[in-house]
Amino acid sequence: METTVDPFKRLIEITRSMTRVQAPAPLLKQIIEAAVEISGAERGYLFLLDPDETLPLPERLQVGAAHQLEPDHAKSAGFGASRTVILKTLVARCGLEWVDALSEPNPSQSVEMRGLRSIICEPLTIHNKILGLLYLDSQLTARFNDGHREILPSLAAQAAICIENTRLLVEREESLRREHEEQAYRNAMAAFMAIASHDLKGPLTVLKTGLSVLRASGADSELMDDMGLALRKAQRLVAMYLDANQLGQNEKLNLVKSQLDLHAMVAEELHHLERYLSPSRRQQFEFANQVPADTMVSADSDRLRQVLANLLENAVKYSPSGGSVTVSAEAGSDGVWLEVKDQGRGISEDGLAHLFEPYVRVHPDDIRGSGLGLWIVRRLIESHGGRIEVTSREGEGSVFRVFLPR
Ligand code: ADP
């Protein structure tokens, strides 16, 4: 009995449903029912292909929707779609039809058992990727005509779009969930750091005052210097975390700018860095201050020291076998370029792309750190109207260049 269904009307109905229905299952069911109805086939299946290519091809197929099929039927022995046609379609990646299955050279078991004559199979393809296939069969010879051959690829395309849309939706939801979790973690970290830094500020100030009193009363000066250095470092870390919290909330930093002698500042920071290193680590490095003696910059002194200290500490921290660490500067008409160069482990291209973002750590966790330093450095420099650049080669070293406008 020939069908009187208007195929194009069904196609339009499906297209309309695609914009309304969220879940893929009812849509796939609608598509297979339409395919069966239009073609007059007795059975119809929409197979979905598992994207895991390590599995054998037959195991990757599962029924996504079927015409008159009980849910468990697909797994039972009585389920007899022609595997031969299905696998051939997947391998050939294009539609396949058997007009009289019994006259084919290798008809499958199911063809004989079920007396199948006509089989037509259309892959569900999107962006050259096969997501599954549309399968129809009938016990009549030459069941399918040119009209069916024309309309079935469109139904297969609708099914492919529906599956791909669902995949994209799931992917997007997953990435939003991950982003949400990461943001929540960062907020919690930021809140914790703000509180901890604030609480630490008080005791550190008391220690600093106590140290000045001790120094004035003639206590051992080398010990005092070491304690002073440690205190300075602790205060700087606290200041850095407080700045980070402020910058994280997009608040402007209160900068107190003055004309600063860059050569002197670099000399001091290098001195502090050297003193802070263990004797064996100190021996591995050669520090050079090549900043010309009269280089002046306009900046907030504490913040510029923080930038310098951070770049210098990183140069040492990420140079496990030592090498030279050189600071140089070049003054131009519009500002000063400051350069910190090391011969350390360098940074990969992937790492460079995200280096100045918060919590980014490029190297495996063998060296401790928060991944906040360079983000703060960038924000501090930008607060001064400047910018920071980096060039690096893995295994050869890195060059950080900071521009401070006049
Ligand atoms: P931290 O050192 O606390 O991890 P930073 O923000 O200062 O955080 O640095 C981010 C990452 O960039 C580091 O974890 C490190 O992988 C890389 N990095 C920074 N400076 C250098 C450098 N001079 N050489 C090689 N890698 C560096």
Tokens found for residue 217: 């009363």
Distance between CA atoms of residues 323 and 316, nearest Å: 9
- Ligand 1 atom at minimum distance from 363 CA: 16
Tokens found for residue 233: 């470092």
Which residue from 152, 202, 204, 126 is spatially nearest to 44, judged by alpha carbons?
A: 152
Measured in Å, residue 345 CA sits from the centre of ligand 1 at 10
Contacts of 207 (CB under 8 A, 6+ apart): 231
Residue whose CB lies within 8 A of the most ligand 1 atoms, among 360, 374, 392, for a mutation test: 374
Question: At which residue do the structure tokens 């850095």 appear?
Answer: 240
Tokens found for residue 72: 């468990």
Contacts of 405 (CB under 8 A, 6+ apart): 334, 335, 384, 385, 386
Question: At which residue do the structure tokens 């050939």 appear?
Answer: 92
Measured in Å, residue 310 CA sits from the centre of ligand 1 at 9
Cα-based angle 361, 383, 318 (whole degrees, multiple of 5)? 25
pLDDT score of 77: 45
Distance between CA atoms of residues 377 and 375, nearest Å: 5
Does residue 340 contact residue 311 with C-beta atoms inside 8 Å? yes
Burial 375-393 (b: 16+ CB within 10 A, else e): bbbbbbbebbebebebebe
pLDDT score of 80: 67
Residue nearest to atom 14 of ligand 1 (CA): 361
Measured in Å, residue 389 CA sits from the centre of ligand 1 at 14
Which residue from 324, 333, 301 is spatially nearest to 403, judged by alpha carbons?
A: 333
Q: What's the Rg (C-alpha) of the chain?
A: 35
Distance between CA atoms of residues 305 and 382, nearest Å: 15
Q: Ligand 1: residues whose CB is within 6 Å?
A: 314-315, 318, 342, 344-347, 355, 360-363, 369-375, 398
Does residue 348 contact residue 310 with C-beta atoms inside 8 Å? no
pLDDT score of 72: 57
Residue nearest to atom 23 of ligand 1 (CA): 315
Question: At which residue do the structure tokens 């263990």 appear?
Answer: 278
Measured in Å, residue 352 CA sits from the centre of ligand 1 at 10
Residue nearest to atom 2 of ligand 1 (CA): 369
Burial 333-357 (b: 16+ CB within 10 A, else e): eebbebbbbbbbbbbeeebeeebbe
Tokens found for residue 156: 């297969």
Measured in Å, residue 314 CA sits from the centre of ligand 1 at 6
- Ligand 1 atom at minimum distance from 372 CA: 6
pLDDT score of 73: 60
pLDDT score of 249: 73
- Ligand 1 atom at minimum distance from 345 CA: 25
Per-residue pLDDT of the chain (406 residues; tens, 9 = 90+): 455 678 878 888 887 777 666 678 888 999 999 999 999 998 899 999 998 888 888 888 888 898 876 555 655 544 667 888 888 999 999 999 999 888 888 777 777 777 888 999 999 999 889 999 999 999 899 999 999 999 999 999 999 998 998 889 889 999 999 888 888 777 777 777 777 777 788 778 888 888 888 888 887 777 788 788 888 888 888 888 888 778 877 778 889 999 999 999 999 999 989 988 989 999 999 999 999 999 999 999 999 999 999 999 999 999 999 999 999 999 999 999 999 999 999 999 999 999 998 888 888 777 777 788 899 899 999 999 999 999 999 999 999 999 999 8
- Ligand 1 atom at minimum distance from 361 CA: 14
For 19: left if phi > 0, alpha if psi spans -120 to 50, otherwise beta; the answer is: alpha
pLDDT score of 123: 95
Measured in Å, residue 281 CA sits from the centre of ligand 1 at 18
